[in-house]
Structure 1
Amino acid sequence: MSGLVVDLPGPAGGTDFVRVVDGVSFDVPPATTVGLIGESGSGKTMTANALIGLLPDGAETGGELRWRGEDLLKATPARRRALRGHEIAMIFQDPLAALNPTQTIARQVGEILRRSGRPRDEVRRRVVELLDRAGVPDPATRADSYPHEFSGGLRQRAVIAMALAGSPALLLADEPTTALDVTVQSRILRLLRSLQDDDGLAMVLVSHDLRVVAHVAQETVVMYAGRVAERGPTAAVLHRPAHPYTRALVQSVPAVRTRTALASPLPGTPATPANRPSGCAFHPRCPLARDRCKVERPVVREIAPGQWAACHFAEEVLSTEEVRHDAA
């Protein structure tokens, strides 16, 4: 995507719009996971929803969203529906809400297969294969269960099986482990990684958990108030951040650096697209903020090979991080 913009109708309606995604750009190569991280309201989920074409009514978009050479923002609704599930699929944050409580797991996993006109016995066989691959025990029997008969971890595996049913090339995972305990989280993450290794899936992982992103993603995009604050290789972004916001996020999670590091919560209240400050949106919370930051919006620029940041003083931030890293 290049310069993606998403405007939603404001509370007053009419011509009043709020820009919830503002000029977001990144690529998702095959067999690569790109992590989208940031606090609540940063625009992560809305960016993922734009990729799959599930924006709220009245949303307006701009920029480019290219999929295999085609700009999806110019595609018809029918074309977007044809791609959804078959080429681009999504794992939603809440598996219980994503599943229909009145239908069996088999019926829901097999829906996209039935729509393609496959025979009933072939659909059933494929559903059992998908559930087995997603790690559901005794899939031939459990396929006839209803969502309430599954644990949270099994429901998430069923949702993953649903997402894989159309053999997509791009998988969007919106906080896929948030509601799960640590042990189940680890299993789900290993499952996603193995599926990617086997099929060469491209994946966008939306998460507020830096530890999850550090474990899974090769590339990371840091978002704040609907904009990209920083992007680049995950190891570089999380261990040598070039943006003060990224550094603050990393310092708030001890396990990203070392197990003995002390957490330092971010000060202040996160800016949102509806109350985005002028200049750099992070400047009210930034310890390095200067007069320029209050009035001039920084552009996203390359600070180190492959590492981009939207900060007027990114070189200063990066040099400080390199000193800290070398001294550690």
Structure 2
Amino acid sequence: MADQSVAVVTAERSTTPMLEVTGLGVTLPAGVVVDRVSFTVLAGRTTGLIGESGSGKTMTAMAVVGLLPDAAVASGQVRWKSEDLLTAPERRRRQVRGREIGVVFQDPSAALDPIQTVGRQVGEILRRAGRPRAEVRARVLELLARVGLPEPERQAGSYPHELSGGMRQRVMIAIALAGRPELVIADEPTTALDVTTQARILALLADLREREGLAMILVSHDLRVMAHVADDVVVMYAGRVCEQGPARAVLDRPHHPYTRALAGNVPAVTSRTAIAEPLPGAPASPFDPPSGCPFHPRCPMARARCATEVPALRETGAGPAPRRLSACHFAEEVTP
């Protein structure tokens, strides 16, 4: 049974698709890392991509904004307001990336240029658009204030190494917002931050989503993060989607044993010291998945069928969009 202490923030429901990912496949020299992944991001809502390390969630998110080599994306469509970004010219993809879709990278220390000031990096996309210097300066200070950096004028002249980890992450969020995007992709935005700073960054993202009317894709391995921010979730395992649907429904009543194991392993959201225990067994490799259901070697519900037959991702619950889907032969038995 899922941990009932997990509370999910649910925004006003929208049925307007901003982004539609269909049958996405990503292949690296070692093998397939994303296998026929499909999901929809609705306007004004946060879609969470969740799973253990190696599940394919970051590869999926980076494929959306064209930050993988073209040769790596083997199949599928990524439709941004009806335009397929996978077949769009590179010039158009660069235009979309930053202006229409912002990206918050996992490690701000690696993503930020150490020899350029914070203000210059936040204003880069505005300068490339030919905005006047005074307008760029005013927008940079506005953004730094909006993401909660104290003394924006002073911080604009700082270098990344002069800021704390939480402050650098706020700068990354400011950069993502500079082009006034309609969708923001945040890849593990709280990694390596202490619990208190994590909570502040999550509160900032939720507040910006509400105030700016943004849609958001949030990538995380931490169900506590999803519980605070996500409206809808896509649970990934070994490069595939194993469950998806509205966050409250999925976390409260999982339809897949993997989701149930993740949710049941989450310590109280209000705890500042509790750490989730790792799930028993090793995650399946997408490069060499086991036969049948990739989760069956770790699954307490596994039966003979699970070892030989790959379960289809199928609808397991009626209701408004997004639909409840599960790739489990026995989804109806997972949560009584």
Which whole-Å deviations, capped at 9, do the CAs of 1:158-191 have from their partners, x for residues lacking one?
Answer: 1100000011111000010111111111111111
Q: Which residue of structure 2 aligns with residue 6 of structure 1?
A: 26
Q: Which residue of structure 2 aligns with residue 312 of structure 1?
A: 329
Question: What are structure 1's unaligned runs of at least 5 residues?
Answer: 11-17, 320-328
Taking the aligned partners of 1:139 and 1:101, their CA distance within structure 2 comes to 19
User: Displaced runs of 4+ in structure 1, greater than 4 A?
Assistant: 256-259, 261-265
Shift of the 154–265 alpha-carbon distance from structure 1 to 2, 3 Å rule, reads closer
- Determine helix, strand or coil for the equivalent of 1:220: strand
Q: Which residue of structure 2 aligns with residue 287 of structure 1?
A: 300
Q: Which residue of structure 1 aligns with residue 89 of structure 2?
A: 76
Q: Structure 1: which amino acid aligns with 2:287? A: A
* TM-score for both structures, normalised by structure 1: 0.91
Paired residues for 1:152-163 under 5 Å: 152-163=165-176
Computed over aligned residues only, the root mean square deviation of the Cα atoms, in angstroms, reads 1.8
Which whole-Å deviations, capped at 9, do the CAs of 1:230-283 have from their partners, x for residues lacking one?
Answer: 001111111110101111111221326999x99764211001211211211001
Q: CA deviation at 1:9?
A: 1.9
Q: Which residue of structure 2 aligns with residue 146 of structure 1?
A: 159
Q: Which residue of structure 2 aligns with residue 237 of structure 1?
A: 250
Q: CA deviation at 1:60?
A: 3.0
Taking the aligned partners of 1:68 and 1:38, their CA distance within structure 2 comes to 27
Taking the aligned partners of 1:124 and 1:43, their CA distance within structure 2 comes to 38
Q: CA deviation at 1:57?
A: 6.4
Q: Structure 1: which amino acid aligns with 2:56? A: G
Q: CA deviation at 1:20?
A: 0.7
Are positions 1:271 and 2:284 aligned together? yes
Shift of the 263–78 alpha-carbon distance from structure 1 to 2, 3 Å rule, reads closer
Shift of the 194–301 alpha-carbon distance from structure 1 to 2, 3 Å rule, reads same
Taking the aligned partners of 2:212 and 2:38, their CA distance within structure 1 comes to 25
Are positions 1:247 and 2:237 aligned together? no
Q: Is the 8 A contact 1:52 1:88 kept in 2?
A: yes
Q: Which residue of structure 2 aligns with residue 204 of structure 1?
A: 217
- Determine helix, strand or coil for the equivalent of 2:185: strand
Q: CA deviation at 1:140?
A: 1.0
Q: Is the 8 A contact 1:9 1:58 kept in 2?
A: no
- Determine helix, strand or coil for the equivalent of 1:277: coil
Taking the aligned partners of 2:183 and 2:142, their CA distance within structure 1 comes to 20
Are positions 1:296 and 2:309 aligned together? yes
- Determine helix, strand or coil for the equivalent of 1:40: coil
- Determine helix, strand or coil for the equivalent of 1:254: coil
- The structure, 1 or 2, with the larger RCO (C-alpha pairs under 8 Å, 6+ apart) is 2
Q: Which residue of structure 2 aligns with residue 53 of structure 1?
A: 66
Q: How many percent identity over aligned positions?
A: 65
- Determine helix, strand or coil for the equivalent of 2:181: coil
Shift of the 287–262 alpha-carbon distance from structure 1 to 2, 3 Å rule, reads farther
* TM-score for both structures, normalised by structure 2: 0.89
Q: Is the 8 A contact 2:63 2:73 kept in 1?
A: no
Question: What are structure 2's unaligned runs of at least 5 residues?
Answer: 1-20
Q: Which residue of structure 1 aligns with residue 240 of structure 2?
A: 227
Q: Which residue of structure 2 aligns with residue 214 of structure 1?
A: 227
